[in-house]
Structures are given as structure tokens and as C-alpha cells.
Structure 1
Amino acid sequence: MGTFIQLVIDGLSTGSIYAALALAIVLVNQATGLINFAQGGMAVLSAYIAWQLTQFGIPVLLAIMLSIVVSFVLGAIVERFLIRKFEGGDPDTAVVVTIGLLTLITGVCAWIWSYNNKLFPSLFPLETVNIAGAVISVRSLGTIFVIVAIMLLLQLLFVGTKLGLALRAVAINPQSAAFSGMPVGRLLMVGWGLAAGLGAVAGALVAPQLTLTPGMMDAALVYALAAVIIGGLTSPIGVVVAAWMIGVLENLAAVYVPFIGHDLKIAVPFIMIFVVLIVRPQGLFGRKSVVRV
């Protein structure tokens, strides 16, 4: 029983990292209607900024908060001077632009900080607690708590605030939103800025568990995209639940399903995607798109 509990908690912790990136992807999509493949690279850049600040003697919590602010500004700048040139055009072109941006950011991080592994200080104590015979790290519990808080805040933003409703209106129909007097350009910048800030949180959560390298978020981005497909692009709660499902089922399958093991556990999210797309194409928690003709 202790092993099962430990696998579940560790899976929730790992899934929370995927969820942070998935929430950022959902936020950009809700604000602009685009899928940002550069989200992982922006998270890495934020983590490097936070790490560099800690090297100057700034406490890790303050460094992470400052990196979130810097990331918000950078995200807004990217939207204003790069992405905006492609918004409203062919969506495939915008997707290629975000992939190119991912490559550019990764290269810049490697050029400035090199590919050498760097140790990122943990935001949470490196202690453990005993829960029903399972040894659980405080860092895992802290990671889960952070993602739950962010998920609830995002859900509140989209459903219960004028800013969230305005972001959704701009994503659905920017022309109608502009005719209604909404500052579409500024709202798009805010959406990208918030997503970049979320990416900074994801980078700060994953860097201590791995080591800080330019490509550390590549695998996490794949899992985040899987969580977005499974949970649904329109539901922040849905993508978090989907990310947790991926993390937990991966761990359980690796230990309890002999023919999968640790080598094939990466197939678990893709099997889940296959099943969900057949049963519910809009995602487990997503809404169907209705198009009037």
C-alpha cells in the first residue's frame, strides 16, 4: 500500500509540472486561438533568468518572482512584435513561427549559459514525510499545491472576471470584440504575458527536480500537449486533471504492468490520446465548437 501511495503522489507531482505548461498553452489559446509550441522554451529562459539572479545573491523565492515579472514583459513583447504579424492569417503559419521561436530561444539559452548542467535551488525543503508507510518528499506536495492554486485562479479568471471574459471574447471573435470597444491588442499582449509568467512557474518547478539545461522542458512540453488534448483546450481544470492522470497512470503502469515497465511508459499518454479522440474529440472536459453556416 505504501508503494502505491508513493507512486500516486509522485505521479501527481510530475503531472503538476506538465499541468503548469498545459495551463500556459490553454491561456494562450483562450486569448489568441493559437497553440504556442514555444512555451517550453520560454519556461527554460525564465528558469535561467531566475538561476542567474540567485547567482547574484538574491533569495530563490524573490528570484522566481522577478523572473515571472520579466517573463510577463517578454511574453507581451513577443506577441506585440512577432506573433501579431501572423495573427488572423493562416494558423499553420503561426504554428511554424512558434516552433521557430522555440528553436531560437533554446539556442540563445545555450549561447549565453552553455549546455552544461546547472543546479537550480529548490523552492521547497528537501525533506520527506511519511504518509501511510510511503515516504513522500515535501517538494512533491508543494508542487501539487502550487498547481492547484494556479488552476483555481485561472478558472476564476476566465469565468468570474471581466479580464477573463474579455480574453475569451477576443479569442473567439477578435473583430466583434474590437467593434464592441475592447482593446484587442492590449488583451492579446496580456494573454501572452500571463502565459509566459505561467511558464516561469513551470520552469521553477521542474529545474530543481532535473538539472537546468536548454532542453530540459522538451519532454515536459510533449506531455503538456497530451494533457491539453485529453483535458480539452477550453478547460483549465480539465488539463490539470488530464496531466495528473498521465503522471499517475505512467507510474502505475511502469510498476504494475510488466510488459510496459519503465521503458514503454511513455506510450501511456499516447494510448490515452487515441482513446479520448475516438470517444470525445473535444477532450474530456472540453466544449464542442458550434459553427453556424
Structure 2
Amino acid sequence: MGRFLDLTLAGLTTGAVYAAVALALVLIWRSTRIVNFAQGGMLMVTTFLAHTVAGSGGSYWLALLVAVLSGLVLGAVVERVLMRPVERRPPLDAVVVTFGLLVLLQGVAGMVFGGTPRSYPPGFDITGFRVAGHQLLFSPNDLWVVLVVLGVMAVLAFVFRRTSLGLRMRSAAFAPEVARLLGVRVGRMLTVGWALAAVVGAVAGVLIAPATFVSPTAFDATLVFGFTAAVIGGLDSPPGAVVGGVLLGAVLSYVSGYLGPDVVTFAALVVLIFVLMVRPNGLFGRGAERRV
């Protein structure tokens, strides 16, 4: 029973990390209808900048602030410089651009920061809580990660459902021509969407970094699992991203604990295929309306 509880708590923490990345992907999709495969590279760059601040004597919170601000600028620049020229082209062109951006960011990071993995300091104690004499695999830092992800999900859900900004962002993504006729500045909304998604990704990078080493390719696997979580939950749903991340984290934790880490990737593929067979639009996704 103790082993099952430890695996569950470990899966909750890992799932929260996947959910954070999934939230960034969902935000991009909801505001631009683009799957940003460069998200891992973008959060890697902002995490490196935060690591530089922390390594120079700055506090954890100052490093987090630097990551957020650099993510805001990076997201806006990427949309203006790289994504705007392919805005009216077929969607595949934008996907190719994001793949190219990922390779570019990893190459530049390798030249600037080097390829040696670096450790990142956690924000809180990483010693697990003790309950009834048992040391849990769940620490104050893990609790911080879970609470931040839940908070980000709540903020995103509120923005998209309850604010005029969210309404304008959705209209710019789904019906840009109609939105322009209604006075919505579509270009500005796309820039805001990319900037906000980069901010969420930057926060995710700082949350992930203490559990792994920071290097140009350190977040590739996290991006893959985050994308899987987003698809499982539904690319249109912030709560779905969180549920998908936690579900995937729990399943992979059980698989790793009972069957071994070698089959974790295969288990993620099985979960993804099963969910898509049962719910093609994800657990919280909305099916497309059929027109006759």
C-alpha cells in the first residue's frame, strides 16, 4: 500500500509538470490554432536565463520573474517575426516553422550556454513530508508545483471564458475575417496569444528544472509527454490539459514502478491511442459540428 501511495504521489507531481507544458500548448492552440512544437525550445531558453540569474546570486523569485518576462518578449517576437509571414498559408507551413525554430533554439543554446547539463535550485524543500512515520515521495516543492499548475489553469479558464480579451483571442483564432469586421485587431490578439503561451511555458520550465538537468535538449521528452497530455485532455480545454497531464503522469508512474522504466514511452502511446479511439477530440474536447 505504501508503494502504491508513493507511486501515486510521484505521478501527481510528474503529471503536474506535463500539465504545465500542456497548458502552454493549449493556450497557443486556442488563440492561434497552431500546435507549437517549438514550445520545448522556448521554455528551455527562458529556463537557461533564469538559471543564469540564480547562478549569479539572484533569488529563486527573481529568476522566476526573469523567466516570465523573457518568455513574454520571446513569444511576442516569435509571432511577429516568424509566424506572421505564414499566417495565411496552409497550417502545415506554421508547423514546419515551429520545428525549425526548435532546432534553431537548441543550436543557439548549445553555442551560448554549452551542452553540459546544469542543476537548477528548487524553490522549496525537496524532502518528502512525513506522515505516520512514513517518508512520502511528495515534498513542499512538489506541492508548490501542483498549486502553481492549478492556479495557471484557473487563470486561463477565467480569461478565455469570462473576459473580453479571451473572447477576442478566440474569435481571432476561429474566424479572423469576421473578427476584423467586428473591430478586433487580429494581429495583436495573435501576438498576445503567443506571448501568454510563452509565459506559461517559462513558468513550466522553472517548475520542471529542479527535477531534471537544464541543457539544450533536456526538455524534449517533457514536450512529447506534455503534447500527449494536451491531446488526451483536449486541445481546446485548459482543465482537460491538467486532467490529461495528471492522468498520464499517474499511469506512467505505475508502469515505471511495477513494469519498469523501459516501457514508459510505449505505455504513453497506448494511453494516447486508447483515448483517441474512445474520444477522438480528447476527454474534454468538443466534437465538431456536422453540416449538411
> One fold, TM greater than 0.5?
yes
User: 2:36 corresponds to which residue?
Assistant: 36
Deviation of 1:61 after TM superposition, in Å, equals: 0.9
Alignment RMSD (CA, Å): 1.3
Number of residue pairs the alignment of both structures matches: 290
Q: Structure 1 residues 117 and 166 mapped into 2: Cα distance closer, same or farther (>3 Å)?
A: same
Aligned pair 1:66/2:77, yes or no? no
User: 1:151 corresponds to which residue?
Assistant: 153
Aligned pair 1:97/2:92, yes or no? no
User: 1:273 corresponds to which residue?
Assistant: 272
Aligned pair 1:4/2:7, yes or no? no
Tell me if the contact between 1:246 and 1:268 (Cα under 8 Å) persists in the aligned partners: no
Q: Which amino acid aligns with 2:251?
A: L
Distance 1:261 1:207 in 2: 24
Tell me if the contact between 1:120 and 1:208 (Cα under 8 Å) persists in the aligned partners: yes
Distance 1:188 1:123 in 2: 32
Deviations 1:134-181 (A, max 9, x none): 512222121111111111111111111111111111111111111110
Distance 1:97 1:27 in 2: 18
Tell me if the contact between 1:125 and 1:139 (Cα under 8 Å) persists in the aligned partners: yes
Deviation of 1:40 after TM superposition, in Å, equals: 0.4
Deviation of 1:270 after TM superposition, in Å, equals: 0.9
User: 2:230 corresponds to which residue?
Assistant: 228
Distance 1:33 1:10 in 2: 33
Secondary structure at the residue paired with 2:129? strand
Q: Which runs of 4+ in 1 moved over 6 A?
A: none
Tell me if the contact between 1:9 and 1:140 (Cα under 8 Å) persists in the aligned partners: no
Distance 1:261 1:211 in 2: 22
User: 2:251 corresponds to which residue?
Assistant: 249
Unaligned runs of 5+ in 2: none
Identity percentage of aligned residues: 40
Secondary structure at the residue paired with 2:281? coil
Unaligned runs of 5+ in 1: none
Q: Which amino acid aligns with 1:274?
A: I
Choose from 175, 180, 185 the match for 2:187.
185
User: 1:137 corresponds to which residue?
Assistant: 139
Deviation of 1:209 after TM superposition, in Å, equals: 0.8
Alignment of 1:7-22 (within 5 A): 7-22=7-22
TM-score normalised per structure 2: 0.96
